Amino acid sequence: MREQVREVLEKLRPFLLRDGGDVELIDVDEDGIVLIRLMGACGNCPSSTITLKAGIERALMAEVPGVTEIEQVF
């Protein structure tokens, strides 16, 4: 599952980079919880929660079976 998550994040990365941000995969646990860190402009952006939930979480849950939740690590 970790490799599938990594592949989806790679697809999303250009959109984040365009806005001066990036994403780092920290871990995927056995319960399907994905831990990520938003970096650059995305790390302290007021819209980062929307990016996380509406963008990254939606894409991961749609494309990677077993992903149950996304949590941001600071």
Structural domains counted in the chain: 1
Please report, for the domain that includes residue 46, its CATH number.
3.30.300.130
Q: State the residue range of the domain holding 64.
A: 2-72
* pLDDT number for residue 54: 83
H-state helical runs in the chain: 2-18, 48-50, 58-63
**Is 12 in contact with 59 (CB distance < 8 Å)?**
yes
* pLDDT number for residue 52: 84
pTM of the model: 0.89
pLDDT in tens, the chain (74 residues): 999 999 999 999 999 999 899 999 999 999 999 999 999 888 877 888 888 888 899 999 999 999 999 999 98
Quick one: which H or E segment has residue 26?
strand 21-28
Cα(44)–Cα(53) distance, integer angstroms:
15
